[in-house]
Structure 1
Amino acid sequence: MTTVSVNTYTHSVTYVADNMLKSLKDIIRLSGLDPTNFIEDWDINMRGIKRWLETEDLQRVDLEIYDPKTDSLLFRWDMDVVYGWSSGDGNFWVDTEQLRYAIRKAGLVPSQAKYRLLVRTKPGRPDVDGWSKATARSTSGFTRQSLGTTIDHSGLGANTSYWRQAG
C-alpha cells in the first residue's frame, strides 16, 4: 500500500509541476511576451520545482515581469503551493479559463518588458543544479489580486494571484 501512495504522490508532484510551468508559459505568452527563454529553461525549471515539491520545501513560484531599463516591477504572478495531499479521490484539474480571464484583466505588458522565474523555498531545502539565490523586486505600491486555487491534484496544488500597480 505504501508503494501506491508514493507513486500517487509522485504523479501528483509531476502533474502540479508541469501545470505550474504550463500556466506560467501561458501568462508570458498571453501577456504579449516571447516565451522562448522560458521554454529553453523548461528542464531546469521542472527539475527544481519537482524536487522541491517532492521534499515539500517549495512555498511559492513567482513570475516577475519587469522593465529592463528601470529594473522596476511591472507585474508579478505568484503560485502559492498548497500541501493538502491525500491518497483519496484522485481529483485533478487546472482552471485555465480563470487564468486567461485574469491575464486579460491585467492587460498586455510593454513590448520591452522582460521576465524571470523565482521560487521561495523553506530554509535548508536541497540544492538543485541550475538554480541560485536571487532577490525579488519590491511590490511596494502594488495590489495583490487573488484568483484562488488554479491547479489541484488530490489536494497538492497552487493558489494563483497577481500583483498590479495600485491606483
Structure 2
Amino acid sequence: MSAVSVYTYTHSVTYVADNILKSFRDIIRLSGLNPKELTDSWQSKLLALSTWIASQDLEKVILEIYHPVTGALVVRWDLDIVYNWSTDEGTFYTDTDQLRYAIQKAGVVPSEAKYDVLLKTKPGRPDVQGWGPVEFRSTTGMVKQSLGSTVEHNGLGAQAAYWRKA
C-alpha cells in the first residue's frame, strides 16, 4: 500500500466516522430530542468510531431511542459498516435527504424519550477508553425498514435501517 493509499484510507475513516455522528445528530434533532448529550460526548464517540473502523472491527452503530421509565424502545436506528474500500472508487456522499424522509416516516418521538449510541464490534477489537461491552434493547414487536447506503467514502461506508413498532 502506498503512502497515498494510507492517507486516503485514513481520510475515508475520518469522513465516515464524522458523518455517522452528524447523521445521528440530525436524527436526534429531527425526532424532537435534544442532541446535547451526543455533542457533549462527540470526541469520545469519534475516537471509538475511528479506531474501530480503521481496524475494521466495527460492525454496527446503533441509536436507541427509548422510554426513560420502561426502558422500551420507541425507535432504533442502525448503521451497518461496509468495508468495500478501494482507491479506484473516488466517491463520497452522505444522503441526508433519505434520512430526513425516513425520520418523517418514523415520526416525532415523545419529548421525555432518551437515547443511547451503542457500538457493536468484533471480538478481540482494540480497547478504547470509556467503551466496553453493552446490551441492546429488545426489538421484539418491531419491524426493520432498510434504507440502503447513507454514508460512503471510496466504498467505506454505512448502510442505514430503522426499527419501528409493527
Residue deviations 1:139-161, cap 9 Å, x none?
Answer: 01100000000011010000000
Query: What's the counterpart of residue 48 of structure 1?
Result: 48
Residues in 2 aligned to 1:112 and 1:94: alpha-carbon distance in whole angstroms: 29
User: Which letter maps to 1:61?
Assistant: V
Q: Is the 8 A contact 2:89 2:155 kept in 1?
A: no
Q: Give the TM-score normalised by the residue count of structure 1.
A: 0.98
Q: Deviations over 1:65-123 (max 9, x none)?
A: 00011111111000000000001132101110000000011000001100000011000
Structure 2 distance, partners of 1:17, 1:52, is: 10
* Distance in 1 of aligned mates of 2:89 and 2:79: 23
How is 1:124-139 mapped onto 2 (pairs within 5 angstroms)?
Answer: 124-139=124-139
2:63 alignment partner in structure 1:
63
Match of 1:75 in 2: 75
Q: What amino acid does structure 2 have at the position aligned with 1:32?
A: G
Alpha-carbon distance between aligned partners in 2 of 1:38 and 1:145, rounded to the nearest angstrom: 24
* Aligned-pair identity (%): 58
State how far apart, in whole Å, the 2-side matches of 1:17 and 1:24 are: 11
Two-structure CA RMSD over aligned residues (Å): 0.7
Q: Secondary structure at the match of 2:143?
A: strand
Q: Distance in 1 between matches of 2:118 and 2:92?
A: 25
Find the counterpart in structure 1 of residue 88 from structure 2. 88
What are structure 2's unaligned runs of at least 5 residues?
A: none
Task: Give the gaps of 5 or more residues in structure 1.
Answer: none
User: Per-residue CA shift, 1:3-29, capped at 9, x if unaligned?
Assistant: 111100000000000000000000000
Deviations for 1:30-78, whole angstroms, at most 9, x for unmatched residues?
Answer: 0000000100000000000000000000000000000011111111000
The 4+ residue runs of structure 1 with deviation greater than 2 A are: none
Q: TM-score, normalised by structure 2?
A: 0.98
- The number of residues matched between the two structures is 166
Correspondence list, 1:8-157, <5 A: 8-157=8-157
Cα separation, 2, equivalents of 1:43 and 1:32:
23
Q: Aligned partner of 1:84: which letter? A: N
The Cα shift of 1:124 comes to 0.2
